[in-house]
């Protein structure tokens, strides 16, 4: 009887261990540009998600080693590697979320728009493959200039007849992560509690933190608002300069992108309370693309939150009007590029 009771207990323990280490759900995520400065730490963070059963790593080179290395982590997902254009289609088959950090990063003195000539073509080619192989996936675009690469992706998907604006998401999460950190530091708040919506786009003055909408509400002097706004807008450049030629933000970007992937997976998994800021097709303003808080659900964007743009301070309202011409030009540049190529 004693032996039977031990056996029962061992069986129960095994079940507990199994349920702890087995995926709670089984989603497939592909990272395109997975051997890069963002791609590698991002792949590691995604490998830690209990919601992922399969992680597909694609790059034009050096991805085999990254995948072999990651595959030894005893977390649920399998890790598969795909190298070069010939293996791109198989990296995308059956995938639920595609994350794209492929492309060149900034060096000191460069704007994000200076990356356009190289990255626009990379994004176009990758999105063509996404359209052919996993048109229903959530698509997360990290490659800069995001203000233009998202419109490029939209045009390519339209050309392929599979455009779903609810699932094409420009990753501006790092702006929110930075805003939360800087506001919490300045006001001595517990970081975990602070949430600042950031709207507009993802470059220079198009990044508009709505500090008046910070949760919990904080009181800031005009000088503090100005200082924080400028720091959030230039935070990427802060990192580019500190790295002095070795690239741009990779670790904080991987953290932000992993948070956004996790949010998309929770949305796919039926969580009804998922909100993120993202640069998306939008009719909140007269611009066709605009970053704002959106509610994510199983089918992508479920709702916008127009009240986020109401009751702005005079400073925010002015900054919103001031960013529109630059953002509009970046959008038009992306659309023109995508249509010139066909
Ligand atoms: P990186 O140069 O370290 O890595 C880029 C990777 O992309 C490399 O492994 C490269 O082999 C790969 N790649 C190049 N062409 C490719 C193609 N056709 N298909 C697949 N992979 C390809 O650059 P890093 O630092 O990882 O940055 C990547 C991109 O992310 C840059 O465009 C950068 O500007 C952007 N970025 C975006 C941010 C955002 O907030 N959205 C923040 C920081 C960077």
- pLDDT, one tens digit per residue, over 245-275 is 999 999 999 999 999 999 999 999 999 999 9
- Please give the number of the atom of ligand 1 that sits closest to the Cα of 249: 43
All residue ranges of the chain with pLDDT < 70 are 1-24, 341-342
- Please give the number of the atom of ligand 1 that sits closest to the Cα of 125: 18
Beta carbons of 330 and 147 less than 8 angstroms apart = yes
Ligand 1 mutation target, pool 33, 66, 204, 248, most atoms within 8 A of CB: 33
Tokens 């290395």 belong to which residue? Answer: 69
Tokens 């909408």 belong to which residue? Answer: 213
Can you give the pLDDT at residue 319?
A: 98
Q: Is 1 exposed, middle or buried (0-12, 13-18, 19+ CB in 10 A)?
A: exposed
Q: Which residue, by CA, sits nearest to atom 29 of ligand 1?
A: 143
- Ligand 1 centroid–CA 224 distance in Å is 33
Euclidean distance between CA atoms 4 and 336, whole angstroms: 73
- The CA-based angle 156-160-165, given to 5 degrees, is 65
- Ligand 1 centroid–CA 101 distance in Å is 4
Tokens 């939360």 belong to which residue? Answer: 180
Ligand 1 pocket, Cβ-based, cut-off 6 angstroms: 32-33, 35-39, 59-61, 101-106, 115, 119, 122, 126, 142-144, 146, 171, 174, 202, 247-250, 253
Q: Is 338 exposed, middle or buried (0-12, 13-18, 19+ CB in 10 A)?
A: buried
The token duo for 226 is 């100005």
To the nearest 10°, report the CA torsion of 304, 264, 81, 236.
60
Prediction ipTM score: 0.99
Q: 3-state class of 155 per DSSP?
A: helix
Helix 222-243, helix 173-187: angle, nearest 10: 120
- Please give the number of the atom of ligand 1 that sits closest to the Cα of 122: 18
Beta carbons of 189 and 157 less than 8 angstroms apart = no
Helix 39-47, helix 251-268: angle, nearest 10: 40
| CA dihedral (276, 277, 279, 284) positive or negative | positive
Euclidean distance between CA atoms 217 and 309, whole angstroms: 16
- Ligand 1 centroid–CA 102 distance in Å is 4
Q: Which residue, by CA, sits nearest to atom 24 of ligand 1?
A: 37
Ligand 1 mutation target, pool 102, 125, 170, 259, most atoms within 8 A of CB: 102
Residue 202 is among the residues annotated as catalytic for this protein: yes
Beta carbons of 145 and 119 less than 8 angstroms apart = yes
The string of pLDDT tens digits covering residues 69-98 is: 999 999 999 999 999 999 999 999 999 999
- Please give the number of the atom of ligand 1 that sits closest to the Cα of 102: 7
- Beta strand spans in the chain (E): 27-32, 52-59, 78-83, 97-100, 138-141, 168-170, 198-200, 207-209, 274-281, 289-297, 300-304
- Ligand 1 centroid–CA 156 distance in Å is 20
Euclidean distance between CA atoms 264 and 301, whole angstroms: 10
Can you give the pLDDT at residue 23?
A: 44
């Amino acid at each position: 009887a004693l032996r039977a009771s031990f056996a029962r207990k061992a069986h129960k323990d095994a079940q507990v261990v199994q349920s702890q280490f087995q995926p709670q759900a089984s989603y497939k995520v592909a990272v395109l540009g997975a051997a890069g400065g963002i791609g590698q730490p991002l792949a590691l963070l995604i490998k830690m998600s209990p919601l992922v059963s399969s992680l597909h790593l694609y790059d034009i080179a050096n991805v085999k080693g990254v995948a072999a290395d990651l595959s030894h982590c005893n977390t649920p997902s399998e890790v598969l590697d795909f190298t070069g254009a010939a293996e791109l289609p198989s990296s995308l088959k059956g995938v639920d979320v595609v994350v794209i950090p492929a492309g060149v990063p900034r060096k000191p003195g460069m704007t994000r728009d200076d990356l356009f000539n190289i990255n626009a073509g990379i994004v176009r080619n990758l999105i063509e493959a996404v359209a052919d192989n996993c048109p229903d996936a959530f698509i997360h675009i990290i490659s800069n200039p995001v203000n233009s690469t998202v419109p490029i992706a939209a045009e390519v998907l339209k050309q392929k007849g599979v455009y779903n604006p609810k699932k094409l998401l420009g990753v501006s999460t790092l702006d929110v992560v930075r805003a939360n950190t800087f506001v919490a530091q300045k006001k001595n708040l517990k970081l975990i509690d602070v949430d600042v919506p950031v709207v507009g786009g993802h470059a220079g003055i198009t990044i508009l933190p709505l500090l008046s909408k910070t949760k919990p509400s904080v009181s800031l002097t005009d000088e503090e608002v100005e200082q924080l706004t400028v720091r959030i807008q230039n935070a990427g450049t802060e990192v580019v300069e500190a790295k002095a030629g070795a690239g741009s933000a990779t670790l904080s970007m991987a953290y932000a992108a992993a948070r956004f992937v996790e949010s998309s997976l929770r949305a796919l998994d039926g969580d009804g309370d998922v909100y993120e800021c993202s640069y998306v097709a939008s009719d909140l303003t007269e611009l066709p693309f605009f970053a704002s808080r959106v509610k994510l659900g199983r089918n992508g964007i479920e709702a916008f939150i127009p009240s986020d743009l109401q009751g702005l301070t005079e400073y925010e309202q002015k900054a919103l009007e001031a960013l529109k011409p630059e953002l509009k030009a970046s959008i038009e540049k992306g659309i023109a590029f995508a249509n010139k190529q066909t």
